[in-house]
Amino acid sequence: MRRRRRNDLRRSAIRYWRKQILKLLSEGNKEEALKIFPNYQKAVDKAASHGAIHKNKADRLKARMWRRIAEA
């Protein structure tokens, strides 16, 4: 149970930062989204390094988010 709770927290951190970036992009605030992106990367990398998500999934999430920011 302890590991599951810890992994859930790591995955929820990813969701939190993802929502923040998407909200800023929908408002047309690309510069702020770029400032927040390192926090998203850090959350994704931490989750991958601790095994909460797979490393390839972490790379895929970061690449997709970067593409969304770049297209905005």
Q: Tokens 């995955």 — which residue?
A: 11
Which domains are present in the chain?
2-71 (1.20.58.110)
Res. 1: pLDDT tops 90: yes
* Confidence class for position 33, pLDDT limits 50, 70, 90: very high
* Confidence class for position 72, pLDDT limits 50, 70, 90: confident
Per-residue pLDDT at 24: 97
DSSP for the chain, please give it. Answer: -HHHHHHHHHHHHHHHHHHHHHHHHHTT-HHHHHHHHHHHHHHHHHHHHTTSS-HHHHHHHHHHHHHHHHH-
Look up the pTM and report it: 0.93
Section 40-47 average pLDDT: 98
Section 24-45 average pLDDT: 97
